[in-house]
């Protein structure tokens, strides 16, 4: 990463990046384009080859298969082998990206994240004018799978660190470990490390016609049993080679190891990619013993549940006026069509793909106080709802890939006014998506806090319309 890289700011790509290759398991040629995205967008995959071009969020709750890589499924569409591109995005500090693919699987290229890191670097990483909302792990969170002998833990730490240990009871592979103390070292230390498999696994996959995109250059093959000449001939044919040999170290002669512990480093790469599915950037030290995709995803779900339970669910947002805003008033005006005296949000202090927190400072000079209860200034309830709607509009617009949008009310439900808002109050406006945005329809839960008390709450539904 660049020496001037600010880890407390959100980042996207400076321009689009493209790469093409075959899917390891499907053998289908796929074109992949990484596109810049707004703050709070996160990672979203889009199947541009399917009718309606459905999107699939990078979310551990949408994982449907972990047998040979990590597969996500949403809106009737699937995308497989997402871990290597997600690891590259995290490793390069990219928070917001739309990943367009015209096939069911991310191209395998050489089995590592390095080709993706290279195109991200060529496209450029752009700092965005929005704060990055880290979640600092404050207690040990553990995962244990007795059957697979997998142990994983995340412990409190000042930054994101990962340690992996692998032990396959293999005389060739032995016991290996790898560590990443700083995400800035990902590019050099982790991204070049390629996927690996044992020969007996490879033979089973070939038998079932499951590595159609397999190539001798995109996986380390570990030979853990005696091999007949007939088997060697079959492998040579599968990999379109005249001859295949076994090195004395117990690896097929397809490639030189890039690091002595390349398999352990690749497992670390997979952990970073799979844990990107938590949906929140975390500060903590991950220690993973014998990790695999299924365990990584279960661990991601456990961490995500902990964060949601302890940070975003029913919590009163903390407003520290000393902290720089995610969006100031000038940035808000670039997104919303509202202007004084009807712009009712002063700044945004939190923004993710699921929730937003805005601030409205209520003063005696508000134009509505002149005619609403003169001599007994009370902010109209409908304007509190409007302030929530404008805040929610910023959330929804920032989840859309490109273009300018307006939001229009469709419905208001369960609206309750619990306390007066008067001059001198600071309204904390929190909006949370109740469901993913579909066909431009946004369903949100809105709450107005004054201090730590709820003043107003409502369920709002709006429609996003792209400006022509």
Q: Tokens at residue 378, please? A: 């009370």
What local confidence, expressed as pLDDT, does residue 240 receive? 65
What local confidence, expressed as pLDDT, does residue 314 receive? 45
What local confidence, expressed as pLDDT, does residue 80 receive? 95
What local confidence, expressed as pLDDT, does residue 30 receive? 95
The whole-model pTM stands at 0.68
Same domain, 264 and 246: yes
Confidence of residue 319 (pLDDT cuts 50, 70, 90): confident
What local confidence, expressed as pLDDT, does residue 384 receive? 96
Same domain, 40 and 115: yes
122-134: average pLDDT: 91
- What span, in angstroms and rounded, lies between the C-alpha atoms of 330 and 1? 30
Same domain, 338 and 441: yes
Confidence of residue 313 (pLDDT cuts 50, 70, 90): very low
Counting the structural domains of the chain, the total is 3
**Phi, psi (rounded to 5 degrees) for 76:** 75, 15
In a domain, 412, yes or no: yes
Considering 23-27, 224-228, 392-396, 435-439, the range whose residues carry the highest mean pLDDT is: 392-396
Same domain, 178 and 235: yes
Task: Kindly list the catalytic residues.
Answer: 293, 372
Name the domain boundary from 67, 98, 130. 130
Confidence of residue 406 (pLDDT cuts 50, 70, 90): confident
318-322: average pLDDT: 86
State which residues form the domain around 55. 9-130
403-431: average pLDDT: 90
What local confidence, expressed as pLDDT, does residue 102 receive? 96
Q: What is the CATH number of the domain that holds 82?
A: 3.30.230.20
In a domain, 2, yes or no: no
- What span, in angstroms and rounded, lies between the C-alpha atoms of 220 and 102? 27
Name the domain boundary from 130, 149, 180. 130
Same domain, 114 and 151: no
Average pLDDT over all residues of the chain: 88
- What span, in angstroms and rounded, lies between the C-alpha atoms of 258 and 194? 9
383-387: average pLDDT: 95
Same domain, 263 and 190: yes
- Number of CB atoms found within 10 A of residue 241's CB: 13
In a domain, 3, yes or no: no
Same domain, 293 and 152: yes
CB within 8 Å of 343: residues ≥ 6 apart: 329, 332, 333, 336, 390
- What span, in angstroms and rounded, lies between the C-alpha atoms of 38 and 46? 16
249-271: average pLDDT: 83
pLDDT digits (tens, 9 = 90+) for 24-44: 767 789 999 999 999 999 999
- What span, in angstroms and rounded, lies between the C-alpha atoms of 111 and 266? 9
Name the domain boundary from 97, 130, 163. 130
Q: What is the CATH number of the domain that holds 274?
A: 3.30.1700.10
Q: What percent of the chain stands above pLDDT 90?
A: 60
In a domain, 322, yes or no: no
What local confidence, expressed as pLDDT, does residue 390 receive? 94
Same domain, 290 and 337: no
**Is a pLDDT exceeding 70 seen at residue 167?**
yes
**Is a pLDDT exceeding 50 seen at residue 213?**
no
Same domain, 174 and 254: yes
What local confidence, expressed as pLDDT, does residue 169 receive? 67
Question: Measured at the alpha carbon of residue 80, what is the angle toward residues 97 and 148, in degrees to the nearest 5?
Answer: 115
- What span, in angstroms and rounded, lies between the C-alpha atoms of 385 and 381? 6
**CA dihedral sign of residues 357, 55, 75, 307:** negative
CB 151 within 8 A of CB 40: no
Q: What is the CATH number of the domain that holds 366?
A: 3.10.129.10
In a domain, 317, yes or no: no
pLDDT digits (tens, 9 = 90+) for 174-193: 789 999 999 999 999 999 99
pLDDT digits (tens, 9 = 90+) for 53-80: 999 999 999 999 998 799 999 999 999 9
Q: Tokens at residue 182, please? A: 């700083």
Same domain, 214 and 113: no
């Amino acid at each position: 990463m660049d020496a001037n890289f600010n880890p407390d700011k959100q980042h996207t790509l400076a321009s689009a990046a493209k790469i093409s290759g075959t899917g390891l398991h499907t053998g289908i040629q796929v074109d992949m384009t990484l596109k810049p995205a707004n703050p709070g967008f996160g990672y979203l995959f889009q199947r541009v080859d399917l009718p309606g071009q459905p999107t699939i969020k990078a979310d551990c709750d949408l994982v449907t298969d972990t047998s040979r890589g990590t597969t996500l499924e949403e809106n009737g569409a699937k995308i497989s082998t997402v871990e290597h591109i997600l690891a590259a995005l995290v490793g390069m500090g990219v928070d917001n990206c739309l990943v367009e693919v015209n096939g069911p699987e991310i191209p395998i290229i050489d089995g590592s994240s390095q080709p993706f890191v290279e195109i991200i670097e060529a496209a450029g990483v752009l700092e965005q004018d929005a704060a990055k909302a880290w979640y600092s792990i404050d207690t040990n969170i553990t995962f244990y799978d007795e059957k697979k002998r997998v142990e994983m833990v995340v412990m409190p730490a000042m930054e994101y660190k990962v340690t992996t240990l692998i032990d396959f009871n293999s005389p060739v592979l032995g016991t290996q470990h790898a560590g990443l103390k700083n995400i800035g070292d990902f590019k050099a230390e982790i991204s070049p490390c390629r996927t690996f498999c044992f020969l007996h696994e490879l033979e089973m996959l070939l038998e079932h016609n499951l590595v159609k995109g397999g190539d001798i250059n995109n996986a380390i093959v570990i030979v853990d049993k005696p091999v007949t000449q007939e088997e060697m001939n079959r492998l040579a044919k599968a990999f379109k080679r005249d001859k295949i040999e076994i090195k004395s170290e117990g690896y097929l002669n397809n490639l030189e190891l890039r690091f002595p512990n390349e398999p352990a480093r690749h497992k670390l790469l997979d952990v970073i990619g799979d844990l990107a599915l938590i949906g929140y950037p975390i500060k903590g030290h991950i220690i993973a013993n014998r990790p695999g995709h299924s365990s990584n995803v279960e661990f991601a779900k456990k961490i995500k549940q902990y964060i949601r339970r302890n940070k975003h669910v029913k919590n009163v947002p903390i407003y520290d006026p000393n902290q720089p805003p995610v969006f100031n008033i000038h940035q808000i005006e670039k997104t919303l069509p509202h202007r004084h005296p009807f712009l009712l949000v002063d700044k945004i202090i939190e923004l993710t793909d699921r929730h937003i927190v805005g601030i409205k400072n209520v003063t005696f000079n508000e134009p509505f106080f002149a005619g609403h209860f003169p001599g007994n200034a009370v902010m109209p309830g409908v304007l509190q709802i409007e302030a929530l709607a404008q805040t929610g509009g910023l959330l929804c617009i920032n989840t859309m890939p490109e273009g300018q949008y307006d939001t229009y009310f469709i419905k208001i439900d369960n609206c309750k006014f619990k306390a007066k808002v008067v001059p001198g109050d600071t309204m904390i406006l929190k909006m949370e998506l109740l469901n993913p945005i579909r066909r431009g329809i946004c369903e949100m839960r809105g709450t107005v806090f004054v201090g730590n008390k709820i003043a107003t709450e409502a369920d709002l539904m709006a429609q996003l319309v792209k400006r022509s």
